[in-house]
């Protein structure tokens, strides 16, 4: 499903060169549910951004569902994101001026799906996250947990095979976090591959496979499980 | 792919900025279309054909304080001296000067006063048989005055003037069938036979509702204050104007020659206010259009900075750069079309008001249409640069916690 071979990402400013990822190797198979943990600044978000094609990388090779991402132009990357990936963000990133229905509709419109098919999918996804009755509500009329469920519905509406979640429960209290996590597990059981970045080790343990990013590299899960922080800073 | 509906819905939910912009666009359209029409109206007013070779004609005033001469004889001497001056085509005493903003007008009637009949107001000049040549106007029918028909006097006399040369505009109004030549018109109770028709010749007041109604009456009343019109060969006017004072004083010295001015200069003085108004209107609409463009530019920039995360999210969800650009273009076009619709209505109402209170002509729809299209194009141009900037927002903004 996802394969990264020796992927490197360097942030260059005038003064400093920061190696956010170096020689990063990872293989994610179809149907997996992976939790990515690691200390802050370790490169988790950079990994997620590259995996989601939100930013380019400097070296190495990244294959998403067999497509070599490095060789795509901006439009092709946008289309591939739209078709293959569902994003769930820590801050939900719902569009405040659009109601729930319209929010979920956004990626479907970008894909050019026809109105009646959009309607079918949106209603189905809202049903799935338990918010079918609130389609006309605006995001600010919902609680954080409900907003994140809308965001999940938006990610699901495109029927992606690959879900990328960035601290999906980071802004939620523990009860809501648990509900969201259960929803993700359900989605995974339904067949989607999920990569979830989190620094909540308890949450991470619920995922069948845990990986840890330290200093921009993949660390063996078994070595670091339970250990809080081995190295703190990224390679400066 | 145009997302008109969700953009419209989103606009309706946060409408303050959009409504302000919409009003601005409406006001701009209303004012610019009316102002553009008024400017165009003024331009054609200022550039209208007067019938005179304005560059070749000048006038001067004569104030005689000497009492030791017969004024009538002196003026005849002056005229013949002027007509012989090198560079001069012709010259004539003229009771007032066309285009100057000062002159006389009276009603010209089909029946002698006080009988009631068709009456038409027209400006007139008392002048001699050199009128046509001095003013360089075009006699299209009939004949000029003869020397005998000109009454020159500074005394009360029983002799009356009995002919006139009028403009076609005046004659057509008095005789709509076009058979006025040779007929009698009454200047008060004085019957004047129309012996000649001039094609085009503007009266003293361009702003008059009937500036083309004008008549020459062959009568010279010699007075101590009078005006003289002179036509020169093309290019000779400046030279003649310089020499005129000395030449006149050499003929007779107990008088003052002043106010030597070209016909074009007189016209410019008369129309100075109109030109000032026109320039102010041009400045006003330029500023207005610039402010509106800046408003659109600013609002779009503000919207972009407010929606940076949203734009990143849209990109992450699969929006191409072109989709972001078109989002802002569509959003602007929506605000703009509503603004233009309101603007067109306002423009029509404003035009009606101007027509009612300031007697401006009716605003032609073409002015509103052209203005609306221009405002739409300007607004799309104003939004293009910020929209392109928005499209370059990185999708990775979506994962950042701001």
In the predicted model, is pLDDT for residue A234 greater than 50? Answer: no
Chain B contact present for A106, CB below 8 A: yes
What's the whole-number mean pLDDT along residues B168-175?
A: 94
Considering only CB atoms, B318 lies closest to which of A48, A78, A105, namely A78
What's the whole-number mean pLDDT along residues B33-61?
A: 92
DSSP code string of B159-205 = ----EEEEEHHHHHHH-TTS--TT-EEEETTEEEEEEEEES----S-
Residue B143 has phi, psi (to 5 degrees) of -140, 170
Chain B contact present for A49, CB below 8 A: yes
Cα separation of B201 and B138, whole Å? 8
Chain A contact present for B314, CB below 8 A: yes
> A2-224: what fold?
Rossmann fold (3.40.50)
Residue B5: predicted pLDDT: 86
- pLDDT band at A224, cuts 50/70/90? very low
Chain A contact present for B13, CB below 8 A: yes
Residue A172: predicted pLDDT: 85
pLDDT by residue (tens digit) across A73-127?
999 999 999 999 999 998 899 999 999 999 999 999 999 999 999 999 999 999 9
DSSP state of A69: G
Mapping DSSP onto H, E and C, the string for B340-373 reads: HHHHHHHHHHHHHHHHHHHCCCCCCHHHHHHHHH
Closest CA to B98 of B144, B58, B67, B63: B58
pLDDT by residue (tens digit) across B187-225?
988 899 999 999 999 999 998 889 999 999 999 888 889
Element (H, E) at A83: helix A74-84
ipTM reported for the complex, 2 dp? 0.90
Cα separation of B31 and B295, whole Å? 17
Chain A contact present for B334, CB below 8 A: no
DSSP code string of B299-352 = HHHHHHHHTHHHHHHHHHTT--HHHHHHHHHHHHHHHHHHHHHHHHHHHHHHHH
Chain B contact present for A98, CB below 8 A: yes
pLDDT by residue (tens digit) across A167-214?
898 888 888 888 889 989 999 999 999 999 988 888 888 899 999 998
Considering only CB atoms, A54 lies closest to which of B9, B314, B399, namely B399
Residue B231: predicted pLDDT: 97
- Taking an 8 Å cut-off on Cβ atoms, the answer to whether B13 and A166 are in contact is no
Q: Looking at beta carbons, which residues of chain B come within 8 Å of A50?
A: none
pLDDT by residue (tens digit) across B85-136?
999 999 999 999 999 999 999 999 998 877 888 899 999 999 999 999 999 9
C-alpha to C-alpha distances, B374 to A222, B29, B32, B379, B381, nearest whole angstrom: 68, 9, 10, 9, 10
Cβ pair A212, A218 in contact under 8 A: yes
A154 vs chain B: nearest CA distance in angstroms? 9
Please tell me which residue of chain A has the smallest CA distance to B2.
Answer: A109
Q: Quick one: what percent of chain A has pLDDT higher than 90?
A: 62
Mutate to test the interface with B, among A46, A64, A92, A93 (most CBs of B within 10 A): A93
Residue A78: predicted pLDDT: 94
Cα separation of B73 and B222, whole Å? 9
Total residues belonging to chain A: 236
Cα separation of B131 and B201, whole Å? 12
Q: Whole-model pTM? A: 0.77
Mutate to test the interface with A, among B6, B11, B317 (most CBs of A within 10 A): B317
B379 vs chain A: nearest CA distance in angstroms? 23
In the predicted model, is pLDDT for residue A221 greater than 60? Answer: no
């Amino acid at each position: 499903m996802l394969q990264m071979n020796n992927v490197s990402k360097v942030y260059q400013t005038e003064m400093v060169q920061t190696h956010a990822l170096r020689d990063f190797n990872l293989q994610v198979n179809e149907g997996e549910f992976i939790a990515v943990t690691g200390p802050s600044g370790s490169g988790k978000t950079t990994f997620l951004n590259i995996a989601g094609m939100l930013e380019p990388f400097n070296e190495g090779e990244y294959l998403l569902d067999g497509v070599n991402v490095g060789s795509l132009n901006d439009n092709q990357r946008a289309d591939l994101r739209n078709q293959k990936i569902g994003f769930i963000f820590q801050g939900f990133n719902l569009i405040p001026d659009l109601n729930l229905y319209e929010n979920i509709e956004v990626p479907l419109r970008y894909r050019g799906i026809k109105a009646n098919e959009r309607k079918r999918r949106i209603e189905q996804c809202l049903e799935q996250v338990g918010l079918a009755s609130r389609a006309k509500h605006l995001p600010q009329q919902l609680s954080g947990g409900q907003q994140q469920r809308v965001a999940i519905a938006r990610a699901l509406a495109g029927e992606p095979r690959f879900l990328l979640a960035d601290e999906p429960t980071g802004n939620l209290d523990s009860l809501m976090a648990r509900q969201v996590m259960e929803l993700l597990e359900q989605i995974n059981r339904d067949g989607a591959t999920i990569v979830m970045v989190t620094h909540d080790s308890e949450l991470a343990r619920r995922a069948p496979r845990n990986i840890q990013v330290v200093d921009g590299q993949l660390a063996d899960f078994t070595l670091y499980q339970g250990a809080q922080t081995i190295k703190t800073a990224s390679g400066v | 792919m145009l997302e008109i509906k969700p953009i419209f819905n989103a606009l309706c939910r946060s409408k303050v900025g959009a409504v302000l912009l919409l009003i601005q666009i409406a006001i701009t359209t209303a004012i610019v279309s009316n102002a553009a029409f008024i400017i165009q109206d003024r331009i054609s007013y200022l550039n209208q054909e007067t019938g005179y070779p304005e560059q070749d004609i000048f006038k001067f005033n004569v104030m005689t304080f000497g009492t030791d001469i017969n004024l009538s004889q002196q003026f005849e001497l002056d005229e013949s001296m002027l007509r012989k001056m090198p560079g001069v085509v012709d010259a004539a005493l003229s009771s007032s000067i066309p285009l100057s903003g000062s002159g006389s007008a009276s009603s010209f009637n089909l029946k002698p006063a006080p009988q009631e009949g068709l009456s038409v107001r027209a400006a007139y000049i008392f002048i001699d048989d050199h009128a046509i040549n001095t003013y360089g106007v075009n006699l299209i029918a009939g004949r000029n005055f003869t020397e005998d028909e000109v009454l020159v006097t500074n005394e009360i006399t029983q002799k009356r003037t009995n002919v006139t040369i009028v403009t076609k505009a005046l004659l057509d109004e008095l005789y709509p069938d076009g058979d006025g030549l040779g007929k009698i018109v009454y200047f008060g109770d004085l019957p004047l036979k129309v012996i000649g028709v001039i094609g085009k010749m503007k009266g003293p007041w361009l702003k008059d509702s009937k500036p083309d109604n004008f008549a020459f009456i062959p009568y010279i009343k010699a007075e101590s204050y009078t005006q003289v019109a002179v036509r020169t060969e093309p290019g000779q006017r400046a030279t003649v104007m310089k020499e005129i004072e000395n030449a006149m004083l050499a003929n007779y010295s107990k008088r003052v020659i002043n106010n030597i001015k070209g016909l074009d200069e007189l016209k410019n003085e008369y129309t100075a206010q109109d030109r000032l108004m026109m320039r102010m209107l041009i400045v006003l609409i330029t500023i207005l259009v610039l402010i509106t463009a800046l408003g659109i530019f600013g609002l779009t920039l503000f919207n972009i900075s407010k929606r940076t995360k949203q734009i990143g999210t849209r990109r992450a969800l699969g929006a191409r750069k072109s989709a972001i650009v078109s989002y802002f273009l569509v959003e602007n076009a929506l605000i703009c079309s509503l603004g233009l619709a309101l603007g067109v209505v306002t423009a029509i109402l404003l035009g009606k008001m101007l027509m009612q209170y300031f007697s401006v002509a009716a605003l032609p729809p073409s002015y509103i249409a052209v203005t609306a299209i221009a405002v739409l194009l300007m607004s799309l141009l104003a939004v293009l640069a910020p929209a392109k900037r928005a499209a370059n927002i990185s999708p990775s903004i979506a994962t950042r916690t701001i």
